[in-house]
Amino acid sequence: MTKKEKIEFVINTLNNLYPEIPIPLDHTDPYTLLIAVLLSAQSTDVRVNQITPLLFAKADNPYDMVKLTVEEIRDIIRPVGLSPMKSKGIHGLSHILINKHNGEVPQTFEDLEELPAVGHKTASVVLSQAFGIPAFAVDTHIHRLMYRWGFTNGKNVVQTEKDAKRLFPKEIWNDLHLQIIWYGREYSPARAWDLDKDIITKTIGRKTVINDYHKSKKK
C-alpha cells in the first residue's frame, strides 16, 4: 500500500467502526469539560466520570468553584490521583477565568495554556470538543497507534501531533482523534494486545512492530 492508501484505509475503517463517536468524558459545557480533562491526567475516564458529578454538584462554574477551598476540592477529587496539583490548578484557573475572561473558557491555545495545570493536550481537547475548533490532541493511545501504523517515528507526542496533522485532512481531526482513542482501547491496547483483532495494524502496520509482536508470542 502507498502512504495515501494507508491513510484512506485508516479513515474508512474507523468510520465504519465508529460512525457515531462517544465522548469519553461527561460534561455539560466548556468549563465542565475543561475540569474533566484536567482531572483525566494520569487517570481513567471511568474514574473521572465517577468523580465529576460529586464535584459539579458543589461547583459546575468558576464562580462557585472559587467559593470552595483548595482542600475541599482536593478531598472530592482525591480518587483520580494527583489531587494536590489538580485541586490547586482547578482553583487557580477558576480565579483567572473570572478575572481575565469574564468567567468564560477562552477559545485559543495561548489563553488556555496560560491557565494552571492546563497543557497543550488539555487545550486541544477543549478547543476541539467544546468549540469545534480543529485540533489533534495526542494521548498515549494515539501516540502508540501512530507509531504502530508507521505514521510517526514515535519519539515524542509533539512530533506525533505534527505528523498526524500533516497526514490527515484538517476537517476530520476532531472526529479522528476520538476514533483513534476508542480503537486503541478496544483493538490495539498496550497490554494484552491481539494482533488478529487489530485489523488496521495487521493490514498496514510497521513491519518491525508486527515482527516484535510475533516474537513475543513465541516466548
Q: In residues, how long is the chain?
A: 219
Give catalytic status of residue 215 as yes or no.
Answer: no
Taking the C-alpha atoms of residue 171 and residue 211, their distance in angstroms, rounded to an integer, is 34
Q: Catalytic pick from 6, 121, 163, 198? A: 121
Q: Is the dihedral of CA 84, 76, 97, 178 positive or negative?
A: positive
Q: Which residue has the cell 498515549?
A: 140
Q: Which residues of 137-172 are buried (b: 16+ CB within 10 A; e: fewer)?
A: bbbebbbbbbbbbbbbebeebeebbebbeebbeeee
Grid cell listed for 146: 501512530
Question: Helix 83-101 vs helix 70-77: angle between axes, to the nearest 10 degrees?
Answer: 130
Distance CA 81, CA 104 (A): 26
The one catalytic residue in 6, 139, 163, 198 is 139
Active site residue 121: yes
Q: Which residues are catalytic?
A: 121, 139
